[in-house]
Amino acid sequence: MNPYMKQHEAALESAPQQAEAWALTMAARRLAEAKNSGEAATILAAVRLNWRLWTIFQANLAGPDCGVPAEIRGNLLNLSNFVDKRSVALLVDADPAKLDALININRQIASGLLGDARPVPASRAPEAASHATAA
């Protein structure tokens, strides 16, 4: 692993909310790129990536040591249930128009994790993503 990636991973490990926001922002960016491409294979790959991310969130939220307040945990689990259903629908029919909800959910949750009430635009996704996918 190159030194840049080691430093990047260390920074993400020290601030889990920032790491989660970064992951959500990157997934939203990939979903938006897939929507713009309109290609079924690109849409399916982006949806699968996003679904895996939300599955990780679900597992953490359902765990006994989850420190997230009960009301927020319930809301996030409800959102992840929606993400599950929308992901399955997209795997059956890769309709680009169905991606908007997932993109918006990811951006809004990322914004909240960063303590910002405004949505996170795709252009604010960390530049490290291009390095991480190339490595």
- The pLDDT tens digits of the residues spanning 41-75 come to 999 999 999 999 999 999 999 988 888 899 999 99
- How crowded is residue 76: how many other Cβ atoms within 10 Å of its Cβ? 18
CATH 3.30.70 fits 17-134, yes or no: no
Cβ distance 87 to 51 under 8 Å?
yes
The encoded tokens of residue 25 equal 């922002």
Its pTM stands at 0.75
Domain boundaries, the chain: 17-134
Whole-number Å distance between alpha carbons of 2 and 15: 21
- pLDDT, mean of residues 87-92: 97
Decide which of 97 and 116 is more confident: 97
Residue 19 has pLDDT above 60, yes or no: yes
